[in-house]
Structure 1
């Protein structure tokens, strides 16, 4: 699939408004698993990259170079459309312009930008602050102008609900759409009524972020589809599952001093090799053998 094809696919999914599941990948192998299981798109999670690669909380420690590198690796591993978390754009509107150019070249099909003040923090943490609406509008305009391909989507996220209330978040989201954002993301709604009402208040395709253990009530995909959401984001479900799995396996190893190839604890050796494409590499090696 070419970049043009994957961007058109992502646009079709957004416009279908059937609450397409969007799992988060924190590295190339997690993205490969998402594709292997039949999901339709991948979210390159900034929190996941920060947690899994740096061992740090999602509080603005990830830089542009790190998310570009992870995007490139994931792009090489999968054909699915990629929605990439670019946090605040790593600075002002000029930094956003530069970030969009780099992430587009790295293989992003959609770039997410948020209106938090820097350094940002996870949308479900306390203590968030947001920049002025006018500054974020400038960032979105810069992102739109920076695109080499007009098919690259811009996803605008607002964290204002936790700071100034839902009404302000809605007003900001509308301004961001008017500035050129293709998709909208109102983060950390705390009431199911607000989640249900959002699609009737904003015309653009919407992303709903469901954080396991976070602030937003978890509604079923079927209900979110009926409401008209474009995507349902599970940004770090795979990360949390990986931590739980590693903890179980390593705890047993620590307790008993050994570990069997139990599929309830560890993926079989053969399955790991299949997922990383070893049979294809073996065939390629034979092709070039003397």
Structure 2
């Protein structure tokens, strides 16, 4: 079930910084670092699991399995991307129920047409705001605990303008969303306007190389935001490190110069090998007896 610590963090007015996680290694690394929340990125999860674009190809079954695995494997509350809810109102209800049962603490739903597209790429189209309002109401009704948070995202800014995006954000908050997420504002001035207009907790999406300026957490809080997600930071760093390591291996035929940059022992500790060895040692002794 949902972890109540996340709602408590919002109630205490702590600014929440949530790193993007996309597989169990990234999730476990982030889990040990003291964040209030981790964010299950759709882009990164689809890329790491399927090796394809975040363009509506992944299914509900793909995502609930992967996101649930990360949520159950971590102590830190996880908010997970759920695209459009994978269909109509009945699909949204099923998605919310499944995500909550999987141990996820918050679900992100967006108002794009299906198939959806990554929020910082071109060609996105949105459904009528009234249809999204119904999705949010269904989501609020479907959850069994108020600790399971609903993040309502609008992609209207890019195609319909900032005024329409703010109008939708207000509607979605009134419909029952706990957190409002206006995707891809294009300047600090636009972000300030969003912060002034919407009283519900606001989420900022900090994507390196995306449409929105990257602002420090202190600045985001000052202009009215309650939370920032960094969905790409993990998989961009991982891809850069892998490219460097593999290029060296290809060029030199060895890994000597790279060495243990993270450390094999640290990885075995992270994956729980000491517990395995302790278990095996105890039961080997009992078997010998």
TM-score by length of 2: 0.95
| Cα deviation, residue 38, structure 1 | 2.3
What whole-Å deviation, never above 9, does each CA across 1:116-151 have from its counterpart, x for those lacking one?
000000100001000001110111111111112232
Are 2:221 and 1:228 equivalent residues in the alignment? no
Classify the secondary structure of the residue corresponding to 1:111. Answer: strand
Equivalent-residue separation in structure 2 for 1:230 and 1:281 (angstroms): 40
Q: CA RMSD in A?
A: 1.4
Structure-2 residue corresponding to 1:19: 15
Number of aligned residue pairs: 285
What whole-Å deviation, never above 9, does each CA across 1:76-104 have from its counterpart, x for those lacking one?
32111010100000001110000111111
Structure-2 residue corresponding to 1:278: 273
What whole-Å deviation, never above 9, does each CA across 1:153-187 have from its counterpart, x for those lacking one?
11000000011101101110111111111110000
Equivalent-residue separation in structure 2 for 1:112 and 1:261 (angstroms): 42
Structure-2 residue corresponding to 1:193: 189
Structure with the greater relative contact order (CA < 8 A, sep ≥ 6): 1 or 2? 1
Moved over 6 A (4+): none
Are 2:105 and 1:109 equivalent residues in the alignment? yes
Equivalent-residue separation in structure 2 for 1:71 and 1:285 (angstroms): 30
Are 2:57 and 1:61 equivalent residues in the alignment? yes
Classify the secondary structure of the residue corresponding to 2:121. Answer: coil
Are 2:129 and 1:133 equivalent residues in the alignment? yes
| Residues 49 and 62 in structure 1, CA contact (< 8 A), matched pair in contact too | no
C-alpha change, 1:32 and 1:68, in structure 2 (3 Å) is same
Unaligned runs of 5+ in 1: none
Structure-1 residue corresponding to 2:79: 83
TM-score by length of 1: 0.94
| Cα deviation, residue 261, structure 1 | 7.0
Unaligned runs of 5+ in 2: none
Classify the secondary structure of the residue corresponding to 1:280. Answer: helix
